[in-house]
Chain A
Amino acid sequence: MPILSLVIWVPIAFGIAVLVIGNDRNPAPARWVALVGSIAGFLLSIPLWRFFEPSAAMQFVENAPWIPRFNINYHLGVDGISMPFVILNSFMTVLVVIAHWEVITDKVSQYLAAFLIMSGTINGVFASLDAIVFYVFFEAMLIPMFLIIGVWGGPNRVYAAVKFFLYTLLGSLLMLAAFIYLYQQTNGSFEILDFHKVPLGMTPQVLVFLAMFMSFAVKVPMWPVHTWLPDAHVEAPTGGSVILAAITLKIGGYGFLRFNLPIAPDASHLLDTFMITLSLIAVVYIGLVALVQNDMKKLIAYSSISHMGFVTLGFFIFNEQGMLGGLVQMISHGFVSAAMFLCVGVLYDRVHSREISAYGGVANTMPVFAAFFVFFAMANSGLPATSGFVGEFFVILGTIKVSFWYAFLAATTLIFGAAYTLWMTKRVIYGAVGNDHVAHLKDVGSRELTFLGLLAIAVLAMGIYPKPFSDVMNPSIDALLRHVAESKLR
């Protein structure tokens, strides 16, 4: 059974169906169809986990000619690096559909369709083994995201949407040029795995590396091309923030692993100090920036950038702990940031403010919610036994083998991360009831309990027993590290 195709196209088909049956006056059918679609997508992705062989080879491969003249094939397959993201994405889509239920009342069917179509294209990004197929999904994803931010976002949504779009487009077009260049070097193949094998001189490697870096660094986002993220996050509706933080940022990290490192290993080694420096700036400087935010979503957005700095740091120290840590961090950040944004969304739906100062003493009126909020805040600051700890710990462990000072700087995040997250928690959740709004808050209902509960389970499970993840990822990571260690210079 072509599981990967189904994982990609079933959500898209449901998205189109939602558009067709959509009716703004009676959104209920669209909502239920979207829920069924997202759950179907998630269930379809489960066999990927269930039948995954722990080896570095590409699995669930599908290959069919698409544009024979240019040797472009509809080639899909996943390995231990990409497979977890497909599942993460399918899972998040379910949460987003549940989370929108009472909140979005304007153009519901278009909203849901955008998410379902985006979910399919994101799965396509992770599953593509052909560079053009990858690029098509990679870019197609921009369209629904642009609309999600721009149509359902906050007051400054249009500015944020355009900024998001143009930043990402600039990066990806350069990557396209690199793909065409590689196509010629491989004598006419767009296969990503052929790109991995083709020998390249140092100058081409550096140029290819930089072209792809532009694309993925914007997506991650790395300092200094991160400025679209706080704007996009703040203005996006909750669902948009969740998908942005949990999934699309990961595409940047994934891109480094799938493209930059294996295609340009020598350039990666040459530029590793550069990459590590940018990562550390993200970790430390953006961590400090997060500390002074007044807006909860902005704070979490900056915290995301800081956490993603850990991911790129882990990738460019070239050892197993670092890479595994980076990957685990990506998955964990997917859960934790999604949870944080959903928590802010829960508050925003009630009070319609994201300002920290608009709250205070929420624990008094929303005890159940407060428990979740504090738990996720702990995970965000990397408390042991939560998923946030595992990744950061591995990355620091790997980094210390390379340089004490890198590790030292990276480890400051444990302090800054705790500082900005817990300080926000203190101001929002604890203390005396801040104002009338807070005094009249209702605690979370069963719908909100569902998605917060599911995420809490995921965060805890991954924190306490990360072995299933590392078992899946390790063979691929080993193979990648061996590949990167070999020079491709002629």
Chain B
Amino acid sequence: MSQATFSLATLAPAMPEMVLLTLACALLLIDAFLDEGDRHITYWLAQVTLIGTAVLTIFTVGPSLVTFNGMFVADMLSQLLKVAILVTVAATLMMSRTYLELRGLLRGEFLTLALFGTLGMMVMASAHNFVTLFLGLELMALSQYSLVALQRDSVRATEAAMKYFVLGALSSGLLLYGMSMIYGATGSLDVSRVAEVLERGNSPMPMIGVFGLVFVVAGIAFKLGNAPFHMWIPDVYHGAATPTTLLVGGAPKLAAFAFVMRLLATGLQSMSTDWSQMLVILAVASMFLGNVVAIAQTNLKRMLAYSTISHMGFVVMGILAATETGYGAALFYVIAYTIMTLGSFGMILLLSRAGFEAENLEDFRGLNQRSKWYAFVMLVIMFSLTGLPPTMGFFAKLFVLQAALEAGYTWLVVFAVLISVVGAFYYLRIVKIMYMDPPSGEMTFEPRTDARWVLSAMAIATLLFGLAPAPLMDLCARAITASL
């Protein structure tokens, strides 16, 4: 009986996931017995679940541990990403609470789906096998499709959910197809085993491996939102309710980064010359398209969607260097991006009221006259997205550019630099609208104090990591080193 060797202790690396799963199921049950007026209990339970899991994850930080027959790994990279994911989701829910309440969306389903989505992301962060990776991805994606569709009465949201689902399913198909080809080429689904076979160069069918790689890269580009696989981003960002947009656009990028790390950087590292070329195209197309099209947008959510595409171009630029410096820089970039996304969408949530979505650029007119502090918060976020010091966005860009130049992509760096100036224009326009235009209409801030604190914390974090980026950068670099 080989089962006899099983002991509960070997599952310890997956403890945070199990806790989250249990609590999420419990939440689903508890919510069924709650009255409509007691929804805040569900909300707080969800928060406790997220924060508790985050604390648990921090306490389980240790040397790399593998479980489930090598399908699941808990190393520093996964812990760092998990904590970031959990905190991001917790912050998202906190900032969204008032918005959801006012629209009757703060239901058990919303919170449970958010938790299950989070679980999917955590599994992705820890996956060490193509199957685990795919399971995590689908758990995350399916929760998100439903989250977008949750607003049944809204035509826009339904349309967005439809597009998201069809394109998402297509990309999952591509990914799975690619994975199966890699399996054919290497005979394994285990990340380390694949790496080993490719490293030794004794793959039975090397050509199939390259084909598989193409599909895998396409699938990754879908999830990250890189041009030319970006079509879903603007529609979903625009169509979904703002909290959902934040759930789709914030933490999942962290998970997608884990995905890239496990698949490309660990599993297919020896094919890096092949995938680097593909990523160069993705990076150039994303930065160009994202920045240029964003200029034409008048809807802030759409504009931020295109800005996301361009930022993901930068992330890819760090990855395509295929060096530890590059991965570290990309990880720093993703974290910076998440903080800035929380800040920018948090501002939309702050200004939204019952029956009013503050999603047009016009809605920010004269914000400085109404609230100096929140205008400043948005100013910091916008300049950080531009990549101007002394904000975090600058160092994110600096590290990525440095890594790309080190890897010899001089022309790409010059291109990225020039296209950033184009990007500066539309971020600047928001600052202009807030500071230089007269206010129009009323402007009230509905969200509670805790939501405002979280929002302010994002701006402060952006500034703080801009003034002292060293600790976080070190953490990122150590996580990458530990995972490779």
A151 to B372, CA, bound (A): 13
With an 8 A cutoff between CB atoms, is B70 at the interface? Answer: no
- A168-211: which residues lie under 8 A (CB-CB) from chain B? 169-170, 173-174, 176-177, 180-181, 183-184
Residue of B nearest to A109 (CB): B372
- Write out the residue numbers on chain A whose beta carbons fall within 8 Å of the beta carbon of B470: 65-69
With an 8 A cutoff between CB atoms, is A143 at the interface? Answer: yes
Residue of B nearest to A19 (CB): B372
With an 8 A cutoff between CB atoms, is A70 at the interface? Answer: yes
B413 in contact with A177 (CB, 8 Å): yes
**A143 and B388 contact, Cβ closer than 8 Å, known pairs A150-B435, A157-B436, A165-B424:** yes
With an 8 A cutoff between CB atoms, is A288 at the interface? Answer: no
A110 in contact with B417 (CB, 8 Å): no
Q: Give chain A's interface secondary structure class.
A: helix
- Write out the residue numbers on chain A whose beta carbons fall within 8 Å of the beta carbon of B379: 143
- B62-108: which residues lie under 8 A (CB-CB) from chain A? none
Report which of A22, A139, A142, A150 forms a contact with B436, defined as CB distance below 8 A: A150
Among the 9-residue stretches B11-19, B20-28, B425-433, the one with 4 or more Cβ atoms under 8 Å from chain A is: B425-433
- Write out the residue numbers on chain A whose beta carbons fall within 8 Å of the beta carbon of B477: 69
B425 in contact with A166 (CB, 8 Å): yes
**A139 and B388 contact, Cβ closer than 8 Å, known pairs A66-B470, A150-B432, A162-B428:** yes
With an 8 A cutoff between CB atoms, is A135 at the interface? Answer: yes
- A75-120: which residues lie under 8 A (CB-CB) from chain B? 107, 110
- A45-70: which residues lie under 8 A (CB-CB) from chain B? 65-70
With an 8 A cutoff between CB atoms, is B420 at the interface? Answer: yes
Report which of A135, A137, A140, A173 forms a contact with B418, defined as CB distance below 8 A: A173
**A166 and B421 contact, Cβ closer than 8 Å, known pairs A132-B398, A151-B435:** yes
A169 in contact with B435 (CB, 8 Å): no
Number of A-B contacts (CB under 8 A): 94
- Write out the residue numbers on chain A whose beta carbons fall within 8 Å of the beta carbon of B468: 66
B418 in contact with A180 (CB, 8 Å): no
- Write out the residue numbers on chain B whose beta carbons fall within 8 Å of the beta carbon of A146: 428, 431
Instruction: Give min CB distance, A435 to chain B, whole Å.
Output: 32
- Write out the residue numbers on chain A whose beta carbons fall within 8 Å of the beta carbon of B383: 143
A328 to B399, CA, bound (A): 38
With an 8 A cutoff between CB atoms, is B201 at the interface? Answer: no
With an 8 A cutoff between CB atoms, is B204 at the interface? Answer: no
Chain B positions 395 through 414: 1 when the CB is less than 8 Å from some CB of chain A, otherwise 0: 10011011001100010011
With an 8 A cutoff between CB atoms, is B184 at the interface? Answer: no
A170 in contact with B418 (CB, 8 Å): yes
A174 to B425, CA, bound (A): 17
Given contacts A67-B395, A69-B470, A139-B388, 15 further A-B contacts (CB under 8 A): A22-B372, A66-B468, A66-B470, A107-B368, A137-B389, A139-B389, A143-B383, A143-B388, A151-B436, A161-B436, A169-B386, A177-B405, A177-B414, A180-B401, A184-B406
Q: Which 8 A-B pairs have the closest CB atoms?
A: A136-B389, A173-B417, A67-B470, A170-B421, A150-B436, A139-B389, A180-B405, A180-B402
CB pairs A–B below 8 angstroms (11 shown): A65-B470, A69-B473, A107-B368, A151-B435, A165-B428, A169-B420, A173-B418, A173-B421, A174-B418, A180-B401, A181-B405
Instruction: Identify the A interface with B (CB < 8 A).
Output: 19, 22, 65-70, 107, 110, 132, 135-137, 139-140, 142-143, 146-147, 150-151, 157-158, 161-162, 165-166, 169-170, 173-174, 176-177, 180-181, 183-184
